[in-house]
Amino acid sequence: MGDPVLYDKVRAVEWCDGTVRLLDQRVLPGTLRYEECRTAPEVAAAITAMVVRGAPAIGVTAAYGAVLAVSAAYARAPSDWRAASRVDLATLRASRPTAVNLAWALNVMDGVMATVGAGSPVPQVLAAARRLHDEDIAANRRMGALGAALLPPKARLLTHCNTGALATGGYGTALGVVRAAAATGGIAMVYADETRPWLQGARLTAWELVEEGLPVTVLADGAAAALLRLGDIAAVLVGADRIAANGDTANKIGTYGLAVSARHHGVPFYVVAPISTIDPATADGGGIPIEERAESEVLHCQGVAHSPALARAWNPVFDVTPASLITALITERGVVQRPDAEGIARLLASPIPV
């Protein structure tokens, strides 16, 4: 057997001897550094600070954070650990607003906590977090296979942000489709938007692909429309942070512009996301909370200001792509062509494949 590939070697998040071990994505690809979180507030702070990012990875991290919350609460108040864990769980829930996988994972954990019996709840809660993590990887594999089947062999693909092993429990959503396509029909090139201002594309997607020997070309976000105009891109593949009940999709800022441009140039625009990213309680994109981060993220680059001191910045970190611009939604339960409220409802009601 050869060397394990990157997505088997590197985990964005892991449970490690009573701590949550996070690969610090802020310093990749130059530095491989891990942060060990020993408490739930430390996990929440790491999510807010983008040590770990990407909707499914945030969900998995929050689930392990919940284990820390429960474990500390049981040590403090063995007979009333549910009440004692509430503040920590609320802190985790508030750590980032847009990625619904965070709330979804904590709801799964709440459900498990409601059913555990007498004695320490920690083993059962930890087993649930591990299960959630494993299921995310399995979902990614399934999406990879379903998505790859939609692509021609040797395709040139365009992607935005980072949706790979780093953004998920492992393997990736949109980048999982790229991986699966590379393993089957092969791919000619992956064009990766640099993804201002955190450069998830230039730093993280490019790193994942280079580490696996896959071809990658990084481009400035503003170059994507010109690339699509050249006519040689088979598909645009992106992930999602929250998909409303009607299919409107929040994802990294710049995704909406990419979808408009893909439609204009007749290029298929695929959203790849697990069922845990669908939020049936939010009717449409207008109801999705959009995180705004510090102005300094736009006005500075690696700590150095590049705008005049009096300039202001607008820094929404996600935008909403209307469902009407999405060619298909690829999930682990199946592909929804031209997603809309009916298609999403049918998907959610469909059986989970075994």
Binding site for ligand MRU (CB under 6 A): 53-56, 99, 161, 163, 167-168, 173, 200, 239-241, 251-252, 317
Q: How far is it, in rounded angstroms, from Cα 177 to Cα 98?
A: 23
Least distance between ligand MRU and beta carbon 247 (Å): 16
Residues linked to residue 301 through DSSP beta bridges, in sequence order? 304
Query: Closest Cα partner for 267 from 237, 296, 299, 247?
Result: 237
Residue nearest to ligand MRU (CB): 239
Residues linked to residue 23 through DSSP beta bridges, in sequence order? 34
217 contacts: CB under 8 Å, gap ≥ 6: 189, 190, 191, 192
Least distance between ligand MRU and beta carbon 314 (Å): 16
Nearest to ligand MRU of 156, 196 (CB atom): 196
Would you tell me how many other CB atoms lie within 10 Å of the CB of residue 139? Answer: 25
Question: Cα dist. 68→37, 43, 100, 126, 217 in Å?
Answer: 9, 9, 21, 9, 40
Q: How far is it, in rounded angstroms, from Cα 211 to Cα 27?
A: 16
Per the CB < 8 A criterion, the answer to whether 328 and 348 are in contact is: no
Does the bond joining 351 to the residue before it have cis omega, within 30 degrees of 0? no
Nearest to ligand MRU of 125, 214 (CB atom): 214
Residues linked to residue 193 through DSSP beta bridges, in sequence order? 219
Least distance between ligand MRU and beta carbon 86 (Å): 26
Would you tell me how many other CB atoms lie within 10 Å of the CB of residue 197? Answer: 18
Q: How far is it, in rounded angstroms, from Cα 65 to Cα 49?
A: 15
> Can you tell me which residue has the tokens 């891990």?
34
Nearest to ligand MRU of 54, 247 (CB atom): 54
Active site residues: 241
Nearest to ligand MRU of 133, 252 (CB atom): 252
Nearest to ligand MRU of 31, 115 (CB atom): 31
Least distance between ligand MRU and beta carbon 69 (Å): 22
